[in-house]
Structures are given as structure tokens and as C-alpha cells.
Amino acid sequence: MRAAVIVFPGSNRERDAERAITLAGGTETHLVWHTETSLPAVDLVMVPGGFAHGDYLRAGAIAARSPVMRAVADHAARGGYVLGVCNGFQVLTEARLLPGALMRNAGLTFICRPVHLAVEQSGPFTGAYETGAEVTFPVAHHDGNFRADEETVKRLEGEGRVIFRYREALNGSVNDIAGIANEAGNVLGLMPHPENAVEPLHASEDGMPLFKSIVAACA
């Protein structure tokens, strides 16, 4: 699997993402600066966590308008895989590659700790998990409160596009939604950090099957 990791001013998980992809069996990973207008030939584009452009205006709002995001949108339209984590999830909603928005946490506090999630659906990002499995990923966000209008939430639930769900009330997200996919299933956004749960040093390796799932899907 060949991958590109998009880097914005303020990204801080690009190396973690690169390492997770490599550990899972990725054969080639490129770090792509946000001003680029094209992507290398890749199977997966990952938009990593951090605070792109300092989260000015809204989290991910400026990054969503970076030149590279047009190429990311074209990649997704061709059926290529796109994974946005934390700030990356925010960028994908701002770029309208995913519905809804990520708002300030209900308690207006930064949350940084391991959380338990349920794997709600099987698909290209979760094929190595059993449906319904509980996994532990860390979170580190201030704007992780997923909101959408009632009709959009009903559609996400009804079409099986809620891929990860918090097992506890965490940040105010409607229906405790932690991660969603687009209609085609090739774009996933989630707030918790699977790339920081891939080796023993992380205390949890529950994120590794996610990356191995993508490698298998690309194969």
C-alpha cells in the first residue's frame, strides 16, 4: 500500500501516522505539504491530527481550503481511501468530504486520555475487527463534539455509516458518534487517534487492525 500524509502548519501527528502505516505493512509513504496541487500515485491519503493553521476561524476551516485538498477530493472521487483523524476529521467536514461539523466539547475543556470505542460496522477500515468489538484509542481534542441536523444523523445511522461510537458520554457528540464514513465508504473521519495505539509503548495496540484493514483493502 502506498500512502500520502498531508502536512499543514500546525500538524503534529504526521510522523505518528507515517510510522503506523509502515508498521501495518505500507510500502511507501509520502509527506505532502499543504500547498502542493497534486498527489503522488497512492492508495491512501491520511489527514493527520494537530492544529492546522492554529485552528483559526474554526478547527480545520483554513486547512480545508488549502490547494492540496482539491487533489484529496479528486482522489476520494476516484474511489481512493481517505482517513482523517482528529484535526483531520475536522478538515474533512470543513471540506465537505464528510457531513456534519465538529464543535467545542460540551464541557468546554480539552480532553486527553484513553477512551473505549465500539466498532459499529465492518468495512475497508475495520475489516480486521469483529463488528461490535471494543477498542481503546487515546483522544486529544477540544473540538470533538460531532453535530449534524436530525435528517443527516438519521441517514448516517440508517445507512450504517457510523463506524466508531464512544462507549461513554465524552464530548457531547450526538449519539456518541466518534467516527463516520462517506456514502461510498472510502472516506473515514474519526476523533480518537488509532495511530497512537499501534505498539506496546502506547499501552494499547488496538489501532493496528485499522491500518492493517486498509492495507488489506488496498491489496
Mean pLDDT of the chain: 97
Q: Is 218 a catalytic residue?
A: no
Among 141, 195, 202, 218, the active-site one is 195
Domain of 104?
Answer: 2-218
| CATH code of 187's domain | 3.40.50.880
Q: Is 34 a catalytic residue?
A: no
- Could you report the per-residue pLDDT of 73-115, keeping only the tens digit for each? 999 999 999 999 999 999 999 999 999 999 999 999 999 999 9
SS3 124: coil
- pLDDT above 90 for 193: yes
Among 86, 94, 141, 218, the active-site one is 86
SS3 32: strand
Q: Is 36 a catalytic residue?
A: no
Among 34, 75, 193, 202, the active-site one is 193
Total structural domains in the chain?
Answer: 1
For position 219, what pLDDT does the model report? 86
- Could you report the per-residue pLDDT of 8-55, keeping only the tens digit for each? 999 999 999 999 999 999 999 999 999 999 999 999 999 999 999 999
For position 110, what pLDDT does the model report? 96
Contact between 146 and 100 under an 8 Å Cβ cutoff? The reply is yes
Picking from 186, 175, 210, the residue whose alpha carbon sits closest to that of residue 17 is 210
